[in-house]
């Protein structure tokens, strides 16, 4: 059977799968320069394509930058013709017109190439980043998911990646174009009039200072915005995945209140972030208008004393407006850049989390190991100072059925988590076939087990695929044989598409009992050395329970089995019953032996049945 995960139940773990488990704003100091440098490092493998993007931007911008000078020459020609009383030079104007059409056409072609190449660069980069995040989530230890809201993790893997994608696709292209435009325009302005260029340069530092000040002030609000977005996603994910429970307990109003509270926080930080960064554009426009007025006055004076042609003044005014456009554009995309940096920081925080230690397969042949299991001086706690299991010692012989019973929070599921190496022991050892689990890789350990849980897990796909999930490369005959052994074949064949019936989300189109039979068929197909059952019949009707019990008896035949039991009637015939309470095994023995002891187990058993029923 493939790797699975059992979340700890009861009071054995910190509660982290909810809105309160999400990371809150301002939790860690931020280093945006480091984040930017790391984000740009993802573009290094595509340096060649980026060079082509820069070249395309260079030519696209160059052709558009030259056009105002040509228009200025045309204006000067018309002005000279009017002032000199000579005819209009239509040949000259015609050549100017043809040149402008050609320049604008070439500019459009190179702009298209720039966008085309950049789309490939950004999408490929984001695809790799998305894969890196997905792979990281698969390598993280189970306790990471215990402490982080699922909605917040989804927000990082989806929303934050999308923010970075938008920044790469739009922001990076605009930055490259804007920088080249500013350089090209500045050169053309120097060619026309160094004096007027000095006038424009007076306003450029003011523009840069404005952008830097506003960006730094709004950045913290963008970080908070992304954190609150993760929180609200966590709440929505919880409420929608558990909508039946919400409605059943009349929790709708409290759920709405909680949503409104988080939504209001998100609104406030988003409003602040967008408002403060939105000040950039009007400020840049104001500074641009100051530049326009100064250039017009200075240019007019220079025309009057004959230092410059009127067409050059016209071209210079266009350039002064054009140079403010890329700067205003950079200010406009500052929102996007800041949001993407905040998103990148959240993703990098995830990528930097400590992983499970990578293990190489051992030289031990797992298939040859026997199914006897021993727990030696086990000590474990989800938190260092809060022990759950204390000095536990148990020996289980191969082929035995071991039932684990006890009140909620006793440590039953925790014991299974340790057996599957979902968590590492604080001290002690678990041996299978005399071999320590730590001497095997996690994959080797988990290959020995199959699990049938109380909460069935089936993915969106066909019934056939769900059963075949238990064994890689299984044949159709093996899948059908497993379904028959699990008493699932009959109901599967009554479905319209039989084994090709597609199960939707949560497999809601079939009953709980049928879902359980499919998970048993999956376990039978995996042919495990050791079986783990977690009260697989607790939520089905009596007739279905009989089928499930028959299927499980076949699955458990001649196989070491661990059964977590709540209904004690299902474990009467277990070879060994372990009674747990607060992490300790307080009683162990057969059903009859434990009843004779008249201890904790007997009290639990008689509390579920009348004395007459219990004896019978």
Domain containing residue 70: 46-351
165 domain-assigned = yes
Arithmetic mean of pLDDT, 380-407 = 84
Q: Are residues 282 and 409 in the same domain?
A: no
Query: What digits encode the pLDDT tens for the residues 533-573?
Result: 876 655 556 666 677 777 777 777 778 888 887 777 677 77
How many helices (H) and strands (E) would you count in the chain? 24, 12
Q: Are residues 405 and 281 in the same domain?
A: no
Q: Are residues 207 and 152 in the same domain?
A: yes
Arithmetic mean of pLDDT, 421-427 = 85
Domain C-terminal end among 351, 382, 403: 351
Dihedral Cα 30, 35, 36, 38, nearest 10 deg: 170
Domain C-terminal end among 323, 351, 379: 351
Share of the chain above pLDDT 70, in %: 84
Are 320 and 292 in contact by the 8 Å Cβ rule? The answer is: yes
Cα dist from 477 to 466, 472, 485, 498, 519, whole Å: 15, 14, 12, 15, 17
Q: Are residues 166 and 138 in the same domain?
A: yes
* CA separation for the pair 536, 43 (Å, rounded): 50
Q: Are residues 375 and 333 in the same domain?
A: no
Q: Please give the distance of CA 389 from its chain centroid, rounded to a whole number.
A: 33
pTM of the model: 0.61
Both structure tokens of 380: 């474990």
* CA separation for the pair 315, 337 (Å, rounded): 32
pLDDT for res 30: 59
467 domain-assigned = no
Q: Are residues 375 and 330 in the same domain?
A: no
Q: Are residues 296 and 418 in the same domain?
A: no
pLDDT top residue among 4 and 581 = 581
Q: Is the pLDDT of residue 1 over 50?
A: no
Q: Are residues 177 and 304 in the same domain?
A: yes
- Domain count across the chain: 2
CB count within 10 Å of CB 137 equals 16
pLDDT for res 4: 36
270 domain-assigned = yes
469 domain-assigned = no
Q: Are residues 233 and 266 in the same domain?
A: yes
List the single range of 127-136, 366-375, 508-517, 590-599 with lowest mean pLDDT: 508-517
Q: Please give the distance of CA 144 from its chain centroid, rounded to a whole number.
A: 13
CB count within 10 Å of CB 130 equals 17
509 domain-assigned = no
Any idea what the CATH number is for the domain that residue 334 is in?
A: 1.20.1560.10
Domain C-terminal end among 351, 382, 415: 351
76 domain-assigned = yes
* CA separation for the pair 454, 288 (Å, rounded): 68
Q: Where are the alpha helices (DSSP H) in 421-540?
A: 442-447, 463-468, 476-485, 489-494, 512-526
With H, G, I as helix, E, B as strand and everything else as coil, classify residue 513: helix
Q: Is the pLDDT of residue 8 over 50?
A: no
**Across the strands, what pairs with 503?**
461
Query: What digits encode the pLDDT tens for the residues 164-211?
Result: 888 887 777 787 888 888 888 888 888 888 888 887 777 777 777 777
Element (H, E) at 589: strand 584-589
What is the residue whose two structure tokens read 């408002």? 275
Q: Are residues 294 and 420 in the same domain?
A: no
Give Cβ neighbours of residue 25 (< 8 Å, ≥ 6 apart): 223, 224, 227, 228, 269
466 domain-assigned = no
Are 441 and 357 in contact by the 8 Å Cβ rule? The answer is: no
Q: Are residues 330 and 439 in the same domain?
A: no
Packing angle between helix 90-139 and helix 47-84, nearest 10 degrees? Answer: 160
Q: Are residues 257 and 130 in the same domain?
A: yes
Both structure tokens of 148: 């982080």
Are 577 and 589 in contact by the 8 Å Cβ rule? The answer is: yes
């Amino acid at each position: 059977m493939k790797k699975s995960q059992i979340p700890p139940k009861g009071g054995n773990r910190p509660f982290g799968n909810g809105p309160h488990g999400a990371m809150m704003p301002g939790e860690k100091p931020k280093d945006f320069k480091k984040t930017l440098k790391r984000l740009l490092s993802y573009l290094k493998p595509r340096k060649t394509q980026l060079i082509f993007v820069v070249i395309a931007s260079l030519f696209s911008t160059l052709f558009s930058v030259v056009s105002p000078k040509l228009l200025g020459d045309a204006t000067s020609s018309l002005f000279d013709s009017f002032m000199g009383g000579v005819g209009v030079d239509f040949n000259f104007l015609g050549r100017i017109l043809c040149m402008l059409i050609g320049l604008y056409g070439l500019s459009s072609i190179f702009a298209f190439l720039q966008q085309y190449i950049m789309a490939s660069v950004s999408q490929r980069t984001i695809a790799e980043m998305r894969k890196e995040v997905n792979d990281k989530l698969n390598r993280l230890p189970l306790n990471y998911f215990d402490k982080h809201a699922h909605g917040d993790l989804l927000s990082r893997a989806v929303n934050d990646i999308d923010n970075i994608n938008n920044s790469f696709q739009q922001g990076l292209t605009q930055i490259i174009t804007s920088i080249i435009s500013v350089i090209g325009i500045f050169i053309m302005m120097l060619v026309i009039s160094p004096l007027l260029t000095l006038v424009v340069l007076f306003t450029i530092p003011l523009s840069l200072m404005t952008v830097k000040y506003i960006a730094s002030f709004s950045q913290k609000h963008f970080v908070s915005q992304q954190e609150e977005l993760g929180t609200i996603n966590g709440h929505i994910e919880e409420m929608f995945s558990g909508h039946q429970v919400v409605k059943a307990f009349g929790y709708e109003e409290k759920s709405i209140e909680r949503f409104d509270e988080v939504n209001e926080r998100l609104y406030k930080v988003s409003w602040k972030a967008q408002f403060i960064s939105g000040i950039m554009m009007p400020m840049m426009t104001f500074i641009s208008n100051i530049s326009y007025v100064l250039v017009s006055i200075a240019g007019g004076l220079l025309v009057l004393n004959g230092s410059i042609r009127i067409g050059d003044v016209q071209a210079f005014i266009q350039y002064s407006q054009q140079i403010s456009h890329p700067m205003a554009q950079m200010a406009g995309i500052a929102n996007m850049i800041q949001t993407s940096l905040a998103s990148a920081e959240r993703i990098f925080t995830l990528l930097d989390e400590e992983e499970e230690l990578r293990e190489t397969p051992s030289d031990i042949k797992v298939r040859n190991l026997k199914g006897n299991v021993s727990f030696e001086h086990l000590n474990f706690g989800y938190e260092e100072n809060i022990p759950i299991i204390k000095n536990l010692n148990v020996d289980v012989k191969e082929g035995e059925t071991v039932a684990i019973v006890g009140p909620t929070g006793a440590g039953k599921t925790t014991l299974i988590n340790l057996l599957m190496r979902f968590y590492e022991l604080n001290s002690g050892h678990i041996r299978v076939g005399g071999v320590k689990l730590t001497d095997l890789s996690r994959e080797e350990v988990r290959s020995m087990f199959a699990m049938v849980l109380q909460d069935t897990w089936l993915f969106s796909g066909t019934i056939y695929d769900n059963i075949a999930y238990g064994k890689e490369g299984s044949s159709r005959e093996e899948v059908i044989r497993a379904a028959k052994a699990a008493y699932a074949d009959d109901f599967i064949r009554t479905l319209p598409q039989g084994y090709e019936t597609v199960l939707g989300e949560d497999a809601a189109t079939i009953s709980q009992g049928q879902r359980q039979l499919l998970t048993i068929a999956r376990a039978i197909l995996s042919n495990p050395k050791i079986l783990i059952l977690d009260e697989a019949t607790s939520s089905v009707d009596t007739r279905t329970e009989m089928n499930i019990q028959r299927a499980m008896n076949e699955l458990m035949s001649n196989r070491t089995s661990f059964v977590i039991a709540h209904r004690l009637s299902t474990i009467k015939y277990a070879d060994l019953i372990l009674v747990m309470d607060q992490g300790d095994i307080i009683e162990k023995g057969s059903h009859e032996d434990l009843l004779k002891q008249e201890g904790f187990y007997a009290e639990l058993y008689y509390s579920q049945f009348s004395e007459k029923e219990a004896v019978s």
